[in-house]
Amino acid sequence: MRKPKIPDAAIKRLPVYLRVLEEFRAAEVPIVSSAELAERTGFSPEQIRKDLAYFGAFGTRGVGYDTALLSRRISRILGLDQGVKAALVGAGNLGHALARYSLSKHKDVRIVAIFDADPAKIGTEIMGVTIRPPSELVEVCRREGVRIGIITVPASEAQACAELLIAGGVEAILNFAPAKLKVPEGVFVQNIDLTIELQSLAYYTSASQSDAEVSRAE
């Protein structure tokens, strides 16, 4: 069997298409062209067509894409059609905010378990989900069929949390801790590091460019 090898960048765009398609669907627009999707997503029409073509031919030449059909197809490609269960580890400020945000907004990726080591938090609830001790993590994840882990603990705890999640059967991790996780082959890690985002943004500010220490010209 051939390996299609689809760019990670393309996968990241699929949820954007999904969101815009839902907006069109809500507005009862039955068909959209790649040009219209481009207008709303900010990506080029060619890129959109290419991204979709990686997974098959979903459009009709001369017409466009059926919004309802394409939306379903993308959900299916991402594995969202059956619903995906996630576990959150770390109920601090950020974890708490993410849990509330996610639980209120997402239905396709649902946080079904929350873990924290703080005895004061264990037993309390965030939007109906009870906070449990890490000792229950592996068993609960296995029992619930959790596939995505979200790590919002301090950097020093992150690796241990990742290992528990993986032992619990998690295959993809969203890591907010400023730490490089070592994971076995087959586990996907996506890092979101606020410090990195803010510090790299500083570069695009005129302050960093002004006082140019020019190295050596060639």
Partner DNA sequence: AATTGTGAAGTTATTCACAGCG
Partner DNA sequence: CGCTGTGAATAACTTCACAATT
Closest CB to DNA among residues 7, 123 = 7
Q: How far is CA 209 from CA 175, 200, 214, in A?
A: 31, 13, 11
Pairing of strands 31-32, 64-66: antiparallel
Contact 128/145 with Cβ under 8 angstroms? no
State the DSSP code for 178.
S
Q: How far is CA 139 from CA 58, 100, 201, in A?
A: 40, 24, 41
Residue numbers 125-144 binding a second copy by CB under 8 A: none
CB of 175 to DNA, least distance (A): 19
185 makes contact with DNA (CB under 7 A): no
| Residue 115 in tokens | 């873990």
Report the residue from 7, 46, 101, 130 that binds a second copy according to the rule CB under 8 A.
101
Contact 67/29 with Cβ under 8 angstroms? yes
Closest CB to DNA among residues 55, 136 = 55
What's the longest Cα–Cα distance across the chain? 64
Report the residue from 7, 19, 124, 135 that binds a second copy according to the rule CB under 8 A.
19
Residues contacting DNA: total by CB under 7 A: 28
Contact 150/87 with Cβ under 8 angstroms? yes
Residue 76 touches which of DNA, a second copy, none (CB < 5 to 8 A by kind)?
a second copy
Closest CB to a second copy among residues 28, 185 = 185
Rg (CA), the chain: 21
Residue 2 touches which of DNA, a second copy, none (CB < 5 to 8 A by kind)?
none
Q: DSSP 3-state assignment of 110?
A: strand
Residue numbers 31-50 binding DNA by CB under 7 A: 32-35, 43-47, 49-50
181 makes contact with a second copy (CB under 8 A): yes
CB of 126 to a second copy, least distance (A): 11
CB of 27 to DNA, least distance (A): 17
